[in-house]
Amino acid sequence: MSKLRFSITMSLDGYVAGPNQSLENPLGVGGMRLHEWAIQLAAWRESHGDKGGGEVNPSSAIIDEMFQNVGAVIMGRHMFGGGTGAWDNEWKGWWGDDPPYHMPVFVVTHHPREPLPMEGGTTFYFVTDGIQSALHQARRAAGDKDVLIGGGADVVQQYLAAGLVDEVNVSLVPVVLGDGARLFDNVGGPDQRLEQVRVVQAPGVTHLRYRVAKSSP
């Protein structure tokens, strides 16, 4: 059964980015500390085109699992990038000519644009009629495989609030940011019914998987 899921790193006090996010500092003040567990890994370095070493530890399998059995990706327009003002039809994302997705990627945006095929099997589709439509198109593209919400946090929150997410993966780090963007704000708190499925302890991080319990129709 195809699932809608996401994986995100969160501080112990619930932030997925620090305060004062900007184009120059998209993770906000202190936000890089969230990802220290990942950037030291060989699995992360390889997926970002760096073949130079890196660690192998229980987090490596978590990185690998993220894209396993995924048939389509959804992301927000900030994650795709392309400037703050006018939409730039020359912009092709942050990932170079051969993005690491190798599958259809649906960008939720207000700016219509023709599909953008890249090398290696990635094609960016620009969806202007909302998250439900993006999910519908992504599911159709994914077939029996899962749909991954790639980010950012605002798009993840919209899908959570709409009750559309099936699986939540949180990588919890022992960092206290004190301010910034909170993952579980404005998602209808008590309406979220999560069941703990799996916990993986790794150096400097705990990977938590929750299933979202659906209320009976």
Contacts to a copy of itself by CB under 8 A: 12-14, 30, 170, 172, 174-179, 182-185, 187-190, 192, 194-196, 198-199, 201, 203-206, 208, 210
* Cβ proximity to a copy of itself, 13 vs 98, nearer residue: 13
Backbone phi, psi, residue 48, to 5°:
-110, 20
Shortest distance, CB of residue 94 to a copy of itself, whole angstroms? Answer: 27
Cα–Cα distances in Å, from 172 out to 26, 65, 131, 161?
19, 17, 26, 21
* Cβ proximity to a copy of itself, 153 vs 170, nearer residue: 170
Burial state string for 196-205 with b = 16 or more CB within 10 A and e = fewer than 16: eeeeeebeeb
Shortest distance, CB of residue 153 to a copy of itself, whole angstroms? Answer: 13
Pairing of strands 205-212, 167-173: antiparallel
Pairing of strands 70-76, 104-108: parallel
* Cβ proximity to a copy of itself, 87 vs 184, nearer residue: 184
Shortest distance, CB of residue 172 to a copy of itself, whole angstroms? Answer: 7
* Cβ proximity to a copy of itself, 152 vs 207, nearer residue: 207
Shortest distance, CB of residue 159 to a copy of itself, whole angstroms? Answer: 14
Amino acid, res. 100: P
Backbone phi, psi, residue 77, to 5°:
-70, -30
Question: Is the preceding peptide bond at 93 cis, omega within 30 degrees of 0?
Answer: no
Are 108 and 125 in contact by the 8 Å Cβ rule? The answer is: no
Shortest distance, CB of residue 46 to a copy of itself, whole angstroms? Answer: 25
Cα–Cα distances in Å, from 165 out to 20, 68, 81, 154, 194?
28, 17, 24, 14, 11
* Cβ proximity to a copy of itself, 47 vs 192, nearer residue: 192
* Cβ proximity to a copy of itself, 83 vs 190, nearer residue: 190
Shortest distance, CB of residue 190 to a copy of itself, whole angstroms? Answer: 5
